[in-house]
Structure 1
Amino acid sequence: MSTPCQAPGRHVHSSAQIATTELLTKVKGHKFIRKQLLDGNQLQKLSLTLGRRSESSTEEPPDGTPLPYGHHLIYFTPSQFESELGADGSDTTFNSPAPFTRRMWAGGQMEWNPDISLKIGERVEETTEILDATAKKSRDGSEMVLVDVEKRFVTPRGLALTDRRSWIFRQPLNAPPPSPSTPISTIPTTKSHTQDALSPQNEYPIRHLVWSPVALFRFSALTFNAHMIHFNETWTRQVEGHPNVVVHGPLNLINMMDYWRDVHSLEGEVKAKGISYRALSPLYAGEEYTIGTEAVEGGSGGEGRYGLVVKKGEVVCMRGEVVGVKV
């Protein structure tokens, strides 16, 4: 028996399904192509932000310097006027339509060409296209939209990297009731730091990290990322419901690949062929967390699989599996 507002046999689309259809109609099948010179100044500033003293200096790296794994994320940054950004400051090119406006980095895969690396001083072409948008349900039953995007980076020597990434878009939280109390304001006294420690339960070192609000702001500036959850404490607390500004998903991915490079590449004898990763729980400024190795599996042809994990205490925040190949 049908209700007055529903014809017999008619399928009622959810808000998430309507949003995915609208987004796919807008950008599905379109390829966005940009070319950019990979300049050394940008890479040097990232090394300073990461605190990697061995790779930071008073001079930018010379032309021909290969980009470390994941460091391409500071290039081909968003290119929109402020008036075109979302209410939260995010780039809206591949954002889901309203009401699914809360964007989160969910995971992805990267595939590197072991024979062709991205290098400083080269002009690289990036081609971006949306692969799919899917209506999903979260664990609490609420609707959300999953958006998958692929980026291909081609140098004058050929394809160097394919980067597929996924974003989750949720509906806004209910606005908190107005409070007569003074807005929360803190003075950021935490300093970012990284330290490796050996663990008796693991043959590989455990890396301890803390990110300050200052470092997160610098990373936002490097990536031209105006998403306010990473630098605006009032927004992240009162609108997004987080306890503090959020550590960037791309920053954690870079940290994971830097850890793999330092611990498992054996001074370049093993190259990364790819990584699949998934973000599981947010991390915040001032929190200490770790990156470690869960498992290493050998394979045929000199390949190996390295299971990496990012944890805050016993909470798993990100997992990744790197495929390495001997050179």
Structure 2
Amino acid sequence: MFKIAVRQLSAVRRYSTATKIDSEALDKWISSPSHEVAFEDSFRSEHLSNLYITLPTRDGTRKPYQEPKDGSPLGYGHHLVFFHSRVPESQLRENGTEPGFSPPKPFSRRMWAGGKITWDPENPLIIGNKATARSTFASIEKKGFEDPQKDPMLVVTQKIDITMKGMQKPSVTEERSHVYLSTADTKKAAREVRGIPTSSDFSFEYKPSLTTLFRFSALIFNGHHIHLDQEFAQKQGYPERLVHGPLTAMMLLETAVFHNPNIRISSFEYRARNPMIVNRTSTIHGTWTDKDTIDLWCVEEGGLVGMTGKVHVG
């Protein structure tokens, strides 16, 4: 039996009506989302070796370490450590995030919210090969703008197609959502997540440390201060630095494959539920709901649910 906790994240974040939103500039940005970027990258085995040694499912402590081999299919979700914007530091936002796909100020606080990844099983990404990731706006949603008691936010979703060199069809299609908050602070309790199963078929426990966060930030070329700077995280209302959303999402997939090494995943949907804090033990649970579906969820020590997901196989 799992105990799911609801705790107060912080008591230092207060709503401030002093935050000014330029509605005209924001509406113009929303109505003309013509932003499109394409990144070419190679699934280098050297870079993947750094990922493997960072992931507790692959670092050799739970099962023998295996080097990534050119010509083999890329692991599920491992494309997340490729295709990243290379922006000079002088052009980054004050919090260390890149400006691409970001709304105008004051929406500067970015959080990884969730998404969906679909794989073409007949056309997998291959280690050692080159590929292009093409990103476009999929949707932009305004929330909380009509209620003065709520912190207004924007949910920005990208559509990302990843196509190997020489191929016509994408091997991976992804929808990736970020939430952008204004600089206004608000007292906010942790979210209770309903519908979590009371038992699981398998699980994996690990503790994301400061070293884990540093290494993963380097792997994805991410300078977001929320993962690296304790003082910054505390000023944002958190007790400590936060674990990367894509790392937790990847660990959901890794746990499914760790316990079911022969599955062929066709799609994965996931949603961040609560911030995950560094140096706190996390346990990822999985349960088969039918022969083609696995429900996954990550629980932090104390019972707080950080992320939920669903894997479809076949």
Q: Normalising TM by the smaller chain, what interval? A: 0.7 to 0.9
Counterpart-to-counterpart distance in 2, 1:55 and 1:249: 27
Q: Taking structure 1 as reference, are residues 203 and 106 closer, same or farther at Cα in structure 2, changes over 3 Å only? A: closer
For residues 37 and 256 of structure 1, the distance between their equivalents in structure 2, rounded to whole angstroms, comes to: 24
Residue aligning to 1:149: 158
Residue type of the alignment partner of 1:230: H
Residue identity opposite 1:291 in structure 2 = I
**Structure 2: which amino acid aligns with 1:305?**
T
Q: Which residue of 1 aligns with 2:279?
A: 286
Match of 2:310 in 1: 321
Tell me by how many angstroms 1:45 deviates. 0.1
Deviations 1:155-214 (A, max 9, x none): 134321001111101112459xxxxxxxxxxxxxxxxxxxxxxxxx74622211211111
Amino acid at match of 2:240: N
Higher mean C-alpha displacement, 95-104 vs 29-38: 29-38
Aligned partner of 1:273: which letter? S
Segment drifting more, 205-214 vs 66-75: 205-214
Q: Over aligned residue pairs, what C-alpha RMSD do you find?
A: 2.2
1:58-96 CA distances to partner (integer Å, 9 max, x unpaired)?
xx6332122111111110112111111110000110112
Which has the higher relative contact order, 1 or 2, with Cα contacts under 8 A spaced 6 or more apart?
A: 2
The answer (yes or no) to whether the contact 1:294–1:309 under 8 Å persists in 2 is no
- 1:309 and 1:55 map into 2 onto residues whose CA distance is 25
Q: 1:17 to 1:272 in 2, by over 3 A?
A: farther
Counterparts of residues 104-119 of structure 1 (less than 5 Å): 104-119=111-126
Alignment partner, residue 7 of structure 2: none
Structure 1 segments (4+ residues) deviating >6 Å = none
Q: How much does 1:50 deviate?
A: 1.1
C-alpha contact (below 8 Å) 1:78/1:225 kept by paired residues:
no
Amino acid in structure 2 at the alignment position of 1:279: A
Cα displacement (A) at 1:20: 4.4
Q: What does residue range 194-233 of structure 1 map to in structure 2 within 5 Å?
A: 202=199, 204-233=201-230
Which stretches in structure 1 are left out of the alignment for 5+ residues? Answer: 1-13, 176-200, 299-303
Cα shift at 1:296: 1.7
Separation (CA, whole Å) in 2 of partners of 1:16 and 1:311? 39
Hey, what does 1:296 align to over in structure 2? 289
Give the corresponding residue for 1:191: none
> 1:97-136 residue pairs with structure 2 within 5 A?
97-136=104-143
Q: Which amino acid aligns with 1:225?
A: N
**Residue type matched to 2:82 in 1?**
Y
Task: Report the TM-score, using the length of structure 1 for normalisation.
Answer: 0.78
Q: Is the contact between residue 298 and residue 307 of structure 2 (CA under 8 Å) also seen in structure 1? A: yes
Question: What 5-or-longer segments of structure 2 have no aligned partner?
Answer: 1-19, 187-197
Confirm or deny that 1:172 pairs with 2:196: no
Larger Rg: 1
Secondary structure at the aligned position of 1:159 is classed as coil
Task: Give the partner amino acid of 1:41.
Answer: E
Q: CA deviation at 1:279?
A: 0.3
Q: In the alignment, which residue of structure 1 is the partner of 2:298?
A: 310
Alignment deviations for residues 14-69 of structure 1 (CA, whole Å, 9 cap, x no partner): 9486464243356x234312221211111000011113225746xx6332122111
Q: Are 1:271 and 2:264 counterparts?
A: yes
Q: Structure 1 counterpart of 2:124, which letter?
A: S
**Structure 2 counterpart of 1:263, one-letter code:** H
Residue 24 of structure 1 aligns with an amino acid whose one-letter code is I
Return the alpha-carbon distance in structure 1 between the equivalents of residues 65 and 220 of structure 2: 18
1:21 equivalent in alignment to 2:10: no
Q: 1:89 aligns with which of 93, 96, 104?
A: 96
| Contact map agreement 1:132 1:149 (CA 8 A) in 2 | yes
**2:36 counterpart of 1:43:** no
Question: How many percent of aligned residue pairs carry the same amino acid?
Answer: 28
C-alpha distance in structure 2 between counterparts of 1:67 and 1:76, whole Å = 14
Q: 1:262 aligned to 2:258? A: yes
TM-score (norm 2): 0.81
1:9 aligned partner: none
Please give the alpha-carbon distance, in whole angstroms, between the structure 2 residues aligned to 1:115 and 1:132.
29
Structure 2 match to 1:253:
249
Distance 2:245 2:252 in 1: 11
- State the partner residue of 1:65: 72
